[in-house]
Structure 1
Amino acid sequence: MPLRRTKTVDTLYADVEASDLVVTPDAPFASALNRRLDRPHFGTFATTPRRLAAGRREQAEDRVAFLELIEQTDHDWKAIAYAIGNVLQCWEHQGHLDAILDYDAYVDATTRDVVQRMRTLRTTSKQLTEYTIDDSQSVAVVGYEQLTALERSILPETFDRIELFTDDAFDYPAFHVFESATDIVTALLDTISTDTAEDVAIVLDSGSQYSSLVESALEAAGIPFYGGPGFIDDPHHRAVIRLLRLGFRGTETTIADAQPVLTQLGLDVPVDDQHKRLDAVTVPELEWVQELWRTIETQTFADVLEAYTRRTDVELTRFEEELRTLGLADEPITEAGVDRLAYYLQTYEVPIDRDNEGVLLADAKSSAYVDRPVVFHLGMGQDWTHSAPQRPWVDTDTQFERYIGSFQRLLQSGEQQYYLVQDTAGGEPITPCLYFGELLETDFERFSDLEAVEHRRRPRSNDGGFDRHPLDVGTETVQTISQSSLNSYVNSPRDYLFGQLLETPDQERFVEGNLFHDFAEFYVTHPDVVADADRDALVDAMLAEADPFGSRADEPLRRRKYRIGIEMLIEYLDDNGPDSEAFLTATSGWGENFFASYFDAPIDSPLTERWFEDHSLGVKGKIDLVQAPDHLLDYKSGHKKRATQVVKRAATDPPADTPNFQAALYLTYYRTVHPDEPLEFTFFHFLDPMADVIAGDADLDGALTTVSYYPFTFDEYVGSRDAYETLLDGYTDCRETFDDLGYQAYSESMAQLTVPDTTDRDELRASEFAAEFTAAVDADTSDAVDAEKGADQAIRALNGVRRRAFFREDLDAFEVFVDERLAELNDRRAGEERFPVAGVAGEPNYRRVDHRDLLLEGEHDG
């Protein structure tokens, strides 16, 4: 089926100008014909069947019927709406009201009641059923195929059929392909002005992102428009519904839950409070919202609407009228009542007064013709495709022909047509509207496969497209990076960027983590003060501090967690207290300490919460505890990770799926403080054994994960006495084999070999190194041992050490990795390139991003 050329309105007018009455499938097209009428004409000239039968502009008969029936019956609102939709649709396609009763699967008590009561309602469908065009008139029907069975029922026996299409093909214009929806809207604003607004129409899917973007852009530019947002799209109407719903969210409602309402009310609550409970925040301007939230079920719908309008100084007369029409205005507010109101507003389009001036916004799935000289078609993707009614009374083939006919007409609306589209979104190709596949005689998967003009942003070009002009402003260079920022940047540079630009609200887990860290820091300095304190009082103080973020129902669990947490910290620090007076910085402490304020006792320890920043390495951080000159410790409230996991997540070539560079970064810095010395870094997961504590069987060592740093290469290590001693502590065959071999022979053999740069056990065992090592061991041991098995166990044991520790080459590589990331980061900050979504290792781990709603999945290069 080719894309057929539509007859122009002037051509069609010439075909029908001699007729007394012209019937068209849609109102805009009838209006276009009427505007071309160049002779006196008595009565209606061009109109639609529904307007002709009703004698006025069409009303949304489904809404009219719904309002009548909820007043006359006690049926559930959703059941009534469902039945009305089926009855009207079946009536439209089969031509008579009782047609629905022939389909048993769709007939119930509500449906029968709806059919019976609609016999007396003055709906346009009823008026169509009763109306017949006078045979004495000469009648022309334009686009007969587009009319439904009910619409055709009014036609006289004799009438002229006027075809909408010619036999010629339509030479459609090129698709203008843009990189983003924002670029498309920018192009529109470059073209439209207040002077040209009356000449322009924009066709788009009203439910797509284009709708809100275009409306906001036109409004901001002061360009008038109509046909866009409906009753429920009014921000104040939406805010009232959200305010009503807020009252039924329960006692754990947070500021974030209420934020859409607060924003519309102009209430600015600090970002830090976003995750706090609504009743735990003290802001004077917020008090009336809190009071309304607490007393919602004692209010009526009209009360809430009045309170809202009083606070915003906005008249919502039409909303009040609708509440009274629905019989809800003076009803006490219930959750079911709010649900019914929201369902009604989402299901039916409430009529609103519009100023029909300016740019016309037309919905791609509701329009078949737009009578403006210039028409922009936006998006044109799969969302332009109608979902054919899946009902037995609908002839799907005939309905598809109607849809595709309307689509062809819509594409040709206007004297000038512009198709503005995207080829991809979020890194995925956009599928063109499925009707193109039926109409265009060529194979394609995306718009760029067809005749297309690409518009791309070019940083420094003047050869067309949309240019980005660099600004001559100074850019502060990032000289150091923390482990958390490095983790975020490596996972997704763009997520890292948003983290730097946007404020992050406080969260319960962060507040609790800080409390435990503060306690550990305070206990190192003042163990005697804590020993004399009432433990229950300490827990109460912690609960009060974290209370705004937590559920009161969880208080017993949190109380137990806090008690166990501080007891585990005390037990560990009593047994493993710091034994060094070394200091890392000239000042002690970092920020405010909750327990220092609680006990009014200062903290002055050179061993806790030690801040470091090294510009030569490009790293910075905060060490929780210097347990010994060669041993650092970090408190973790999460689940324990094995040493192999810690090392694996610090990989740089390539980075891990869940990168975590804390141990590598801290040891990289600390080896400059204690060069050429073995070091250890321990994570103390003090809440991990909580279940064992409750059962009375806690093992403190089970909560510790320690990784080592060796100030030499792994190749140097494998031939050392330490490595040999490790083999003597291994499995039976390994121990017997290397006890028989002896250290001297072992060391000499290793000196001749090079261990492959891999930690994959299977690769190691299949390597040339493994074969040569096994042969050397077998040659120098007696037949009393199983040298082959012993050598295999030795390879596994040495590889285990490598997977659990950092060697000099590992941290050397990490230093280079940090230098590369900082250079890359500063180039991006200077505008050399955009911050991409994908990190060094490719697609980010979306479970680890903090701003998921701001990232487009699959968009690798920004």
Structure 2
Amino acid sequence: MPLPQAKSSERLYDAVADYDLVITPDGPLASTLNRQLDRPHLGSFAIPPRRHAVGRREQAEDRLAFLEMVNHDTISWKRSAYAIGNILQCWEHQGTHEAILEYDTYVDDATKRAVERIGEFDTASMELTTGRLDPELDIAVIAPEMLTQLERSYLPESYDTVKLFTDEPFDLPPFRILDSATAIVDAVEDAITTENAESVGIVLDQASEYSPLVESALEAADIPFFGGPGFIDIAEHRAFLRLLRAGHYGTDTRIGEIRPLLAMLGIDVELEHDEKRLYESDIPALSWLIAFCDEIEQYTFGEALTLFENRAGCDLETFREELTTLGIVDEPITERGVDELEFYLQSYEVPVDRENEGVLLADAKSASYVGRDVVFFLGLDEGWTHSPPRRPWVDQDTQYTRNIQSFQLLLQSGDEQHYLVQDSTGGSPVTPCLYFEELLDEEFERFSDLPSTTHSQQHETASTTAFEKPPTEVTNESVETISQSTLSTYVNSPRDHYFSRLVDGPDKDYFIEGNLYHDFAEFYVNHPTFVDTDVVDEVVDLMCTEARSLVRSVDEAVLRSEYRVGLETIIEYLDEHPPTDGVFLTPASGFGKNAIAEHFDRDVGSPVTERWFEDSDLGVKGLIDLVHSRTHLLDFKSGSKKSARDIVKNSALDEPADTPNFQALLYLTYWRSREPNERLEFTFFHFLETVDEAITGDPDLEDTLTTVTYYPTTAAEYVSREAFFDTLLKEGPNDCQKTLGKIDYDMYAALFDEELLPRTTDSDELIESEFGQTMMDRLQTHVGEYKYVTKGTKQVLRQIATVQAQNYFKSDLDAFEAFIDDRIDELNRQRTGDERFPVEGLGGEPNYRYVDNRDLLLEGDR
């Protein structure tokens, strides 16, 4: 891949060694030339125009102008910053600070005032505008096309130019493709030591994920570095801003939103509390923070900083100096004041004193040259592409030329270059920096389309042995049983199931509410005569108290009404359908705690409620909410109602559904082992389904119930029975009744002897099957080829398909037992490392709406 070869520093020095002064477009390039100076030299030898103009390290003019404006003018901070940015940018491209006044669209009172202020400053830009290089000097300018108009105006009329690039080609080293940003950073860390740190440079997009990862890795390894985090990136500074912001978030602030602040303050709060509202939490460790937030407007910025320093155990004198510089150290903390402070720190780079030792971190969009022996380039993606300012004073072609030449020079920095990239992330290809389209005479969409080598944890070449990590020895107990929720998660995405076992999640309002509803149902079954209107009121109050920290305050009145309707619906159902005496069950000591029972100081020992089971022979476990009778199980649900067809569909085995759920199938499989050869029912009781109707006064309890039935026979045996035939005769569609009325049961039953009934829930598939066509032929032959016979036969077949779609039969539960065995065997192989936990489940790509750990899932076979 031929790129123009940049001249080496030695070759450049040979070309400019005899000049009095060498002007470079980049500071690091000048430093490299100065280090090679082999003769006495008075004053500067190689230097960028700005540094030469002021004779010192230049200061950030935008920040100086901004501070002058905010301390002496009443113009808002954002208007001042906008005007100053336009003026300085226009100045750079047009050569004078007053050039902005020629663009009427960008001129207002703030702009005019800023022009006046800036004109009074002794800055590098003003020196470049008013001064000139000594024409008596013998001057060489390296790559003058990379200088801005303002920088070129500083040059004398006569000077010599030196090209940066030769006509020789530069062959890019192959891109090294690694699995992730973490793997890339690990590879870089492995190659750096405290001894070679001074020889290493790292180029990255400072706005990317690589920046904090690299900084953290180097800090952890005690490897010095510079050029990294700025003033606002210092952890204590960010935490102080979060503290000020937390005082104005409002009453719905969640603990998870301020967790970085809590870490800096030394406040340890369990992850389960993340979704709770700060002001409604009863966690003692948070009392200091809550008290500060309640009284925040009574403090000045300086006082708040002192409180933070004392609490966090740090010294933020530089931050206090910056507050003084802004003139707000003694100002009371208002929300607007916090907004302005945060805007300032995000907009301007506050100088930070640091030692320039160790690894050099360079921003891909700011650097043109890195003077280190070994340079690592991380990412090289479209984030490296400059976004040229869309302003009328900017010549886009000239700016693009400067950017792409800077990119070419940057790529060739160092004696060794290592390009470490990702080929895809989040399932999508990573787009290489757009400048490669201009530089490479090849078509490509991703890095693997270009000369590259791939490195992964599974395969390392000899050249990447430094990237290898020793394997970790892990022992696992084998899985013997699986719950319905675990099975559903596993079928959707095994890897999400894996991370769900490793990563804790915060409590949710619906978890707490659902548990309390279940506790109340169990309590009511045990103490129906105790529960009256007053008790219901007390339970509603208890639910509001328990959920208050997790729900918005404005929602509490609505939730209170919903809680009451849910409790009353549970009472109504259990009054109308009380469970039978559980004498057929073995005694049970109950499962877990019951918050309602504890509140009223009563026991809940009924054997029919909260019945835990675990059967290692079947490989299943779970918790039955209510054993309604010997052949009927019931589950309380606070979510949306599903139809029987949806329940059966979502428990499909051969082609798992997009929303897999095996609860009814698993519980019925277990209960069949207790009650073999019995017709069994499983009911989902959606007690919140009729909340809206309850408010209008017209609820129907039947609308809350969905029941699926297990028949201990085959589907063909069930639908071929005389009882089913009679049901079709009496309750089937008109043409179905009319057609079957022309035959007797014996002829109907004989139809099932000729062809095997396929196990399908698709009525069209059943009609087109051999069984369906045989039924059509026999009925047309016997009754006649009438339209109603054709239509009636299809209606019979649709009724048969509906039965199969809404119920379970013996073959379904048999297949599920084998399915469980296969999943447990598969899971154990993955847990022991014999197989990977794949991202894709049995149904292919996961349904990401039901994935709990989306950020942890790397796409593909990793």
TM-score for both structures, normalised by structure 2:
0.97
Q: Distance in 1 between matches of 2:545 and 2:344?
A: 43
| Change over 3 Å in CA distance of 1:176–1:461 after alignment to 2 | closer
Match of 1:677 in 2: 678
1:235-634 superposed matches below 5 A: 235-458=235-458, 467=468, 469-531=470-532, 533-582=534-583, 584=585, 586-634=587-635
Match of 2:788 in 1: 786
- Percent identity reads 54
Q: Distance in 2 between matches of 1:463 and 1:138?
A: 48
Q: Distance in 2 between matches of 1:165 and 1:464?
A: 32
Q: Distance in 1 between matches of 2:473 and 2:314?
A: 44
Q: CA deviation at 1:585?
A: 5.2
Match of 1:777 among 765, 776, 779: 779
Match of 2:744 among 724, 735, 742: 742
Q: CA deviation at 1:651?
A: 1.1
| Change over 3 Å in CA distance of 1:35–1:156 after alignment to 2 | same
Q: What's the CA shift string for 1:609-666, capped at 9, x where partnerless?
A: 1000111111110000111111110001112111111111111221111111111111
Q: Distance in 2 between matches of 1:3 and 1:97?
A: 38
Match of 1:53 in 2: 53
Match of 1:706 in 2: 707
1:178-197 superposed matches below 5 A: 178-197=178-197
**Alignment partner of 1:170: what SS?**
strand
1:21 aligns with 2:21: yes
**Alignment partner of 1:25: what SS?**
coil
Q: Distance in 2 between matches of 1:567 and 1:459?
A: 62
Comparing 116-125 with 802-811, greater Cα deviation is found at: 116-125
Are the equivalent residues in 1 in contact too, given 2:713–2:810 (CA < 8 A)? yes
Match of 1:696 in 2: 697
**Alignment partner of 1:838: what SS?**
coil
Are the equivalent residues in 1 in contact too, given 2:584–2:630 (CA < 8 A)? no
1:142 aligns with 2:135: no
Q: CA deviation at 1:229?
A: 0.8
Q: Distance in 1 between matches of 2:851 and 2:6?
A: 51
**Alignment partner of 2:18: what SS?**
coil
Are the equivalent residues in 2 in contact too, given 1:142–1:162 (CA < 8 A)? yes
Unaligned 5+ segments in structure 1 are: none
| Change over 3 Å in CA distance of 1:468–1:21 after alignment to 2 | closer
Comparing 487-496 with 200-209, greater Cα deviation is found at: 487-496
Are the equivalent residues in 2 in contact too, given 1:65–1:123 (CA < 8 A)? no
Q: Distance in 2 between matches of 1:149 and 1:720?
A: 94
Residue type matched to 2:562 in 1?
K
Are the equivalent residues in 2 in contact too, given 1:179–1:455 (CA < 8 A)? yes
**Alignment partner of 1:527: what SS?**
coil
Q: Distance in 2 between matches of 1:208 and 1:460?
A: 26
Unaligned 5+ segments in structure 2 are: none
| Change over 3 Å in CA distance of 1:163–1:783 after alignment to 2 | closer
Q: Distance in 1 between matches of 2:778 and 2:755?
A: 10
Q: Distance in 2 between matches of 1:834 and 1:461?
A: 22
**Alignment partner of 2:760: what SS?**
coil
Q: What's the CA shift string for 1:683-738, capped at 9, x where partnerless?
A: 11111101111111110001101111111222222322243234221111111211
Q: What's the CA shift string for 1:366-408, capped at 9, x where partnerless?
A: 1111111111111111111111211121111111111111111
**Alignment partner of 1:632: what SS?**
strand
Residue type matched to 1:643 in 2?
A
| Change over 3 Å in CA distance of 1:194–1:596 after alignment to 2 | same
Are the equivalent residues in 1 in contact too, given 2:761–2:804 (CA < 8 A)? yes
Comparing 583-592 with 645-654, greater Cα deviation is found at: 583-592
Q: Distance in 2 between matches of 1:25 and 1:463?
A: 36
Cα RMSD (Å):
1.9
Q: Distance in 2 between matches of 1:462 and 1:432?
A: 26
1:712-731 superposed matches below 5 A: 712-728=713-729, 729-731=731-733
**Alignment partner of 1:166: what SS?**
strand
| Change over 3 Å in CA distance of 1:445–1:552 after alignment to 2 | closer
Match of 2:212 in 1: 212
Q: What's the CA shift string for 1:663-693, capped at 9, x where partnerless?
A: 1111111111111111111111111101111
**Alignment partner of 1:173: what SS?**
coil
| Change over 3 Å in CA distance of 1:482–1:550 after alignment to 2 | same
Q: Distance in 1 between matches of 2:665 and 2:780?
A: 38
Residue type matched to 1:715 in 2?
A
Q: CA deviation at 1:587?
A: 1.9
Q: What's the CA shift string for 1:14-56, capped at 9, x where partnerless?
A: 1111111111101111111111111111121111111111221
| Change over 3 Å in CA distance of 1:855–1:334 after alignment to 2 | farther
TM-score for both structures, normalised by structure 1:
0.97
Q: What's the CA shift string for 1:555-613, capped at 9, x where partnerless?
A: 22122112111111111001101114245554232111112112211111111110001
Comparing 264-273 with 629-638, greater Cα deviation is found at: 264-273
Residue type matched to 2:739 in 1?
T
**Alignment partner of 2:343: what SS?**
helix
Q: CA deviation at 1:541?
A: 2.4
Match of 2:846 among 835, 844, 847: 844
| Change over 3 Å in CA distance of 1:402–1:666 after alignment to 2 | same
| Change over 3 Å in CA distance of 1:41–1:462 after alignment to 2 | closer
Q: Distance in 2 between matches of 1:313 and 1:492?
A: 44
Q: Distance in 1 between matches of 2:421 and 2:777?
A: 67
Q: CA deviation at 1:494?
A: 2.0
Residue type matched to 1:749 in 2?
L
Residue type matched to 1:255 in 2?
I
Are the equivalent residues in 2 in contact too, given 1:142–1:161 (CA < 8 A)? yes
Residue type matched to 2:630 in 1?
P
Match of 1:120 in 2: 120
Q: Distance in 1 between matches of 2:471 and 2:43?
A: 63
Residue type matched to 2:441 in 1?
E
Q: What's the CA shift string for 1:741-787, capped at 9, x where partnerless?
A: 22111010122122334322333333343222111122233689921
Q: Distance in 2 between matches of 1:325 and 1:783?
A: 97
1:26-45 superposed matches below 5 A: 26-45=26-45
Q: Distance in 2 between matches of 1:727 and 1:785?
A: 19
Are the equivalent residues in 2 in contact too, given 1:718–1:750 (CA < 8 A)? no
Are the equivalent residues in 2 in contact too, given 1:461–1:467 (CA < 8 A)? no
Q: Distance in 2 between matches of 1:361 and 1:517?
A: 57
Comparing 627-636 with 779-788, greater Cα deviation is found at: 779-788
**Alignment partner of 1:832: what SS?**
coil
Q: What's the CA shift string for 1:396-453, capped at 9, x where partnerless?
A: 1111111111111111111111112222222322111111111122222222222222
| Change over 3 Å in CA distance of 1:314–1:783 after alignment to 2 | closer
Residue type matched to 1:34 in 2?
N
Q: Distance in 1 between matches of 2:2 and 2:72?
A: 51
Q: CA deviation at 1:2?
A: 4.9
Are the equivalent residues in 1 in contact too, given 2:201–2:361 (CA < 8 A)? yes
Are the equivalent residues in 2 in contact too, given 1:843–1:860 (CA < 8 A)? no
Q: Distance in 2 between matches of 1:403 and 1:785?
A: 77
Match of 1:814 among 801, 813, 816: 816
**Alignment partner of 1:570: what SS?**
helix
Residue type matched to 1:589 in 2?
G
Q: Distance in 2 between matches of 1:667 and 1:23?
A: 83
Q: Distance in 1 between matches of 2:722 and 2:374?
A: 84
Q: CA deviation at 1:811?
A: 2.0
**Alignment partner of 2:741: what SS?**
helix
**Alignment partner of 1:740: what SS?**
coil
Comparing 804-813 with 470-479, greater Cα deviation is found at: 470-479
Q: CA deviation at 1:121?
A: 2.2
